[in-house]
Structure 1
Amino acid sequence: TFPVKVGDECLVIFADRCIDFWWQNGGVQEPVDDRVHDLSDAFCIVGPQSQAQKISGISTSGAQLRTDDGAAFVEVAAGHNITVKTPGALTATAEGGTTITSPTITLNGNVTINGNLSQGMGESGGAATMLGPVTVTNDVKAGGKSLMTHTHGGVQTGGGNTGAPN
C-alpha cells in the first residue's frame, strides 16, 4: 500500500471515453456509455511532486523505498548490497520459516531468543565459542552429564583427585 494523505500532490489523467467495461473485464472493450472526459473515467497517479514538495536527499547510488523524511528506507544498491534502516522497530514474520545463508553473521546488540536454540545440528555437529562470562539459570549438560546432579566415584579425603563424573 502507499499511504495517501489529504493535500498530497498527484497527476490526474482522464480517459477520452467511458472505461466501465474495461474496468470490469480488462482487455479491449467497446464503451458502454457515450460520456467523454468524465470524472468517472479518471486515474490518479500519486508520487509525482512539484519542486516545492520534492523529497530531498535522493539516493543516486541505489533504488530506495523510503519515508518522505528519508529516516527509514530499504535500499538496493550497486554491488548487490541491500540495506534496511529505521529509527523505529523492525519486525519480520515468516509463517513458513526463515533461512539465512551467509559465511558470517554479525549481530550488534543484546540478543533475546524466545524458543529453543539448536546449534551444529549437522551430521558431525558443530563448535561454539563464547567469550564469557556465561551465566546459566538452570542445569547445563555436557556429554549427557548434568552439571547440577552428576556424582564422582573414587572420592577420598586428602589431596587426591576424584574419578570422572558419573
Structure 2
Amino acid sequence: MNSISSAGKASPNPSVEAIDKAMKQRIGEIRTGMPGEIISFDAGTCMATVKPSLQYHTADGDILDYPLIIGVPVFMPHAGNAQITYPVKVGDSCWIAFAERSLDEWLGKSDSDNHDPRQYDLTDAVCFVGMRKVQSISADNVEIINGPTSISLTPDQKINIVGDVNIKGNITCSGTSKMSGNITCDGDVIASGISLTDHTHGGVETGGGNTSGPQ
C-alpha cells in the first residue's frame, strides 16, 4: 500500500512495487499461444523451427523479440492407420501453443514424468500450420488445394477435380460415365460379357454385306 507524505500525497510503497514487479515478471513468463512463422521444416520428423510473430514485454517496460524455437512438433491429423498430411513451407503462418508442463518425456525420452519444474515454457511448444490473418475460402464447398490442383466437394453431391488423376486400384461405377476426350486402354474392354479384343462376328461374307453383331 502507499504511505501519505507530509504534503498529503500518497508516496509509492517500495514493498508493494517490488511485489507488483515480481508478479508482472512471473505472469510475463507464462506462454499460452501466439501466431508464428515457419523458419524451417523437417518432413522426416515433422518438426519445425518457428519464429513467434509477437514481441515480449518485460516487467521493466522493455520490448524484445522472442528467440527462434527449435524442435517444435507440427500437428498433422492422424488417427489409427488414417492420416492427412500436407507440405509445410518456409514462411507459412502458424499458431504456436505452449504446454503446461515439459514435453521432454512425451517426445520420447521415457514414459514417466521427469518432474521438470518448468511450466508454459517456450521450449515446450507445438505448432498448428495454417493460421493466417486473412484468407479467402469457399463459403459452401469442402476443398483440397495444392497449387493449381484442386478437389472440391459440393453440398449437392458433386466432386469437381482439377488436374490429372492417377488411380492404382479398381474402379466401380454404378451410374453413367461420360467422356469428352479419347479413351486409351492397355487391356481388354468387356461390354455385356463380350470382349473387345477377342470377340468374333458371324455371317461373314465378301462384298458389301454386314456381319452379324459381336459375340
**TM-score, length-scaled by structure 1:** 0.58
Distance in 2 of aligned mates of 1:140 and 1:21: 65
Cα-to-partner distance string for 1:34-83 (whole Å, 9 max, x where unaligned):
233334321111011012xx2x3x21121111136xx4211111122111
Contact 1:20–1:32 (8 Å) recurs in 2: no
Aligned alpha-carbon RMSD (Å): 3.8
Residue in 1 that maps onto 2:158: 81
Residue in 1 that maps onto 2:145: 66
Distance 1:112 1:161, change over 3 A: closer
1 or 2 for the larger relative contact order (CA 8 Å, sep ≥6)? Answer: 2
Question: Aligned residues: percent identity?
Answer: 28
1:48 aligns with 2:131: yes
Alignment of 1:1-166 (within 5 A): 1-24=85-108, 30-51=113-134, 54=135, 56=136, 58-67=137-146, 71-86=148-163, 90-94=164-168, 97-113=169-185, 115-120=186-191, 122=193, 125=194, 142-143=200-201
Structure 1, 42-51 or 30-39: larger mean CA deviation: 30-39
Where does the alignment leave 5 or more consecutive residues of structure 2 unmatched?
Answer: 1-84
Residue 144 (structure 1) shift: 7.1
Distance 1:116 1:14, change over 3 A: same
Cα-to-partner distance string for 1:137-157 (whole Å, 9 max, x where unaligned):
xx9963379x8xxx87xxxxx
Contact 1:21–1:32 (8 Å) recurs in 2: no
Residue in 2 that maps onto 1:155: none
Output the amino acid matched with 1:104: T
Distance in 2 of aligned mates of 1:50 and 1:84: 28
Contact 1:62–1:76 (8 Å) recurs in 2: yes
Where does the alignment leave 5 or more consecutive residues of structure 1 unmatched?
Answer: 129-138, 153-159
Residue 16 (structure 1) shift: 1.9
Distance in 2 of aligned mates of 1:7 and 1:13: 18
Distance in 2 of aligned mates of 1:44 and 1:91: 32
**Corresponding residue pairs, total:** 126
Residue 91 (structure 1) shift: 3.5
Distance in 1 of aligned mates of 2:208 and 2:144: 65
Distance 1:118 1:33, change over 3 A: same
Output the amino acid matched with 1:119: I
Q: Secondary structure at the match of 2:105?
A: helix
Distance in 2 of aligned mates of 1:16 and 1:161: 88
Output the amino acid matched with 2:167: T
